[in-house]
C-alpha cells in the first residue's frame, strides 16, 4: 500500500498532473530515498565549505522536530527548539551564511529570494519534495545499506521509490570503508546501474581527532580509562560505535531515536554520568544542560576524484 501511494504520487508529478515549481535562484537538493542515516547534514556542510567563499549561500531546511511554525530565519538569539537540531548545528558552525526553516519549501524559497537574494539555495532533505524543481540533485545512499537492496516502509527503510534515483545528477555512496577497493566500487556502480550521464562517487566519514564542547579540547586517548557514556540520537550510530571501539575506547552506549529531544528525566540521568560523549547533532540539544559533555565531529572525505567531480558537475560558472 505504501509503495503504491509513493508510485502514484511520483507518476502524477512525472505526467505534470501535479506540478513542481522552478526558481530563478540556483537550487541544489541534498537528499536520500531512505528515512535517514546517509550523512545529509555533513554533505550540506561540505557544500557550504566548498561554495561560501565564491557564492552567497542560503540553506533551507524543514526544521524537523522544531517547536516553531512557518518560515523562520536564523538569528544570533535563535534556540535549537526554534530551528531543529540540524539547522541549528549549521548556524553555529557557519554564522556567516543564511539558514532558514520552512516546511513549505516553495514559500521558503520565495521568501529567501525576496528578502536576501542568495546566489544558491541548498535544500536539505528535499529529494521527495517535488513541489520544487531543483536545478541539481545530490542523492546519498549508505555503503552496506544501498537503496537498491532496501524495501519500502514499514518492511524496510525506503520512503521513496528506487526508480526516483533517475532524478539525481550524482549519487554519492557514503560511509564507505577508507580502503574500499576499485573492484568493489565498480561492483556497486553496476548494482546502482546509473543512467547515462549520471555520476556515482564514493566517500567515507572522517572523525575529528579532537573532542570538542567541554572546557578544553581532548583526544580520544585522553578519555581512555574513564567512565564514558556515549549518547546518540541519530538514525545510524553504528559507524561511530565501530570507530570508537576500533580506537580502543570502552563505553556505555545510550541510543535514542533520530532527532530525539531529551526529557528532563533523561538529563537528570545524564548528570549522574562521569563523562558524556555524543554526536555534534546531539550536542546542540544537550549543550548547557550537562557538565562534562563532549562531541566528536565528522565530515565527508571523497575517494579518488569524487570531490572534483561533484563540484564541477554543479555548473556554477
- Residue 65: predicted pLDDT: 84
CA distance between the termini of the chain: 44
Render pLDDT for 93-138 as a digit per residue (tens, 0 to 9): 999 999 999 999 999 999 999 999 999 999 999 999 999 999 999 9
What is the percent of the chain with per-residue pLDDT over 90, rounded to a whole number? 91
Render pLDDT for 298-316 as a digit per residue (tens, 0 to 9): 999 999 999 999 999 898 8
**Which residue, chain included where needed, has cell 512557518?**
70
DSSP 8-state secondary structure symbol assigned to residue 212: E
**If 0-12 CB within 10 Å is exposed, 13-18 middle and 19+ buried, where does residue 174 land?**
buried
Contacts of 74 (CB under 8 A, 6+ apart): 83, 87, 88, 91, 98, 99, 100, 101
Average pLDDT for 155-181: 95
Average pLDDT for 156-168: 95
Average pLDDT for 251-262: 93
Q: How many residues does the chain have?
A: 317
- How would you classify the pairing of strands 98-101 and 72-73? antiparallel
pTM given for the model = 0.93
Contacts of 241 (CB under 8 A, 6+ apart): 230, 253
| Distance separating alpha carbons of residues 38 and 175, to the nearest angstrom | 8
Helical residues (DSSP H) of the chain, grouped into ranges = 2-14, 40-51, 80-83, 85-93, 105-115, 182-192, 220-223, 238-246, 264-270, 280-286, 306-313
| Distance separating alpha carbons of residues 30 and 168, to the nearest angstrom | 10
DSSP 8-state secondary structure symbol assigned to residue 83: H
| Distance separating alpha carbons of residues 126 and 44, to the nearest angstrom | 12
Render pLDDT for 190-217 as a digit per residue (tens, 0 to 9): 999 999 999 999 999 999 999 999 888 9
DSSP 8-state secondary structure symbol assigned to residue 143: T
- Residue 144: predicted pLDDT: 94
The per-residue pLDDT of the chain, averaged, comes to: 94
Confidence of residue 234 (pLDDT cuts 50, 70, 90): very high
For 86, 109, 185, 217, the CA distances from 296, given in Å and listed in that order, are 15, 32, 28, 10
Calculate the CA dihedral of residues 57, 116, 72, 267 and round it to 10 degrees: 40
Binding region for ATP: 34-41
| Distance separating alpha carbons of residues 299 and 129, to the nearest angstrom | 25
- Residue 261: predicted pLDDT: 87
DSSP 8-state secondary structure symbol assigned to residue 132: B
Q: Which of 93, 111, 115 is nearest to 102 (CA)?
A: 111
Confidence of residue 178 (pLDDT cuts 50, 70, 90): very high
Binding region: 34-41
CA angle 217–221–226, rounded 5-degree value: 90
Q: Is the pLDDT of residue 317 over 70?
A: no
CA atoms within 13 A on the CB side of 261: 11
Average pLDDT for 181-193: 97
Q: Which domains does the chain have, with CATH numbers?
A: 2-205+301-313 (3.40.50.300), 207-298 (3.40.50)
- 8 A C-beta contact, residue 242 and residue 291: no
Render pLDDT for 17-71 as a digit per residue (tens, 0 to 9): 999 999 999 999 999 999 888 999 999 999 999 999 999 999 999 998 898 999 9
Amino acid at each position: 500500500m505504501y509503495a503504491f501511494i509513493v508510485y502514484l504520487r511520483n507518476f502524477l508529478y512525472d505526467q505534470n498532473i501535479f506540478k513542481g515549481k522552478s526558481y530563478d535562484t540556483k537550487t541544489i537538493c541534498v537528499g536520500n530515498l531512505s528515512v535517514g542515516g546517509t550523512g545529509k547534514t555533513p554533505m550540506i556542510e561540505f557544500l557550504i565549505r566548498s561554495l561560501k567563499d565564491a557564492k552567497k549561500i542560503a540553506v533551507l531546511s524543514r526544521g524537523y522536530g522544531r517547536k516553531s511554525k512557518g518560515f523562520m530565519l536564523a538569528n544570533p538569539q535563535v534556540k535549537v527548539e526554534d530551528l531543529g537540531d540540524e539547522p541549528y548545528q549549521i548556524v553555529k558552525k557557519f554564522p556567516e551564511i543564511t539558514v532558514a526553516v520552512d516546511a513549505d519549501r516553495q514559500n521558503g524559497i520565495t521568501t529567501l529570494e525576496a528578502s536576501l537574494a542568495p546566489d544558491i539555495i541548498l535544500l536539505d532533505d528535499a529529494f521527495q519534495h517535488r513541489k520544487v524543481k531543483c536545478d541539481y540533485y545530490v542523492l546519498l545512499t549508505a555503503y552496506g545499506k544501498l537503496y537498491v537492496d532496501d524495501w519500502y516502509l514499514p518492511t524496510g527503510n525506503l520512503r521513496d521509490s528506487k526508480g526516483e534515483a533517475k532524478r539525481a545528477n550524482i549519487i554519492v555512496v557514503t560511509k564507505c570503508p577508507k580502503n574500499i577497493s576499485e573492484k568493489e566500487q565498480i561492483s556497486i556502480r553496476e548494482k546502482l546501474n546509473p543512467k547515462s550521464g549520471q555520476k556515482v562517487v564514493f566517500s567515507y566519514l572522517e572523525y575529528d581527532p579532537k573532542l570538542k564542547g567541554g572546557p578544553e579540547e581532548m583526544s580520544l586517548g585522553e578519555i581512555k580509562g574513564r567512565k564514558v557514556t556515549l549518547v546518540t540520537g541519530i538514525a545510524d550510530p553504528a559507524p561511530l560505535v565501530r570507530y570508537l571501539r576500533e580506537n580502543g575506547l570502552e563505553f556505555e552506549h545510550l541510543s535514542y531515536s533520530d532527532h530525539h529531544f531529551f526529557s528532563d528525566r533523561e538529563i537528570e540521568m545524564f548528570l549522574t554520568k562521569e563523562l558524556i560523549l555524543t554526536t555534534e547533532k546531539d550536542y546542540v540539544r544537550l549543550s548547557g544542560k550537562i557538565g562534562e559533555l563532549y562531541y566528536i565531529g565528522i565530515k565527508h572525505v571523497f575517494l579518488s576524484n569524487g570531490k572534483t567531480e561533484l563540484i564541477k558537475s554543479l555548473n556554477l560558472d
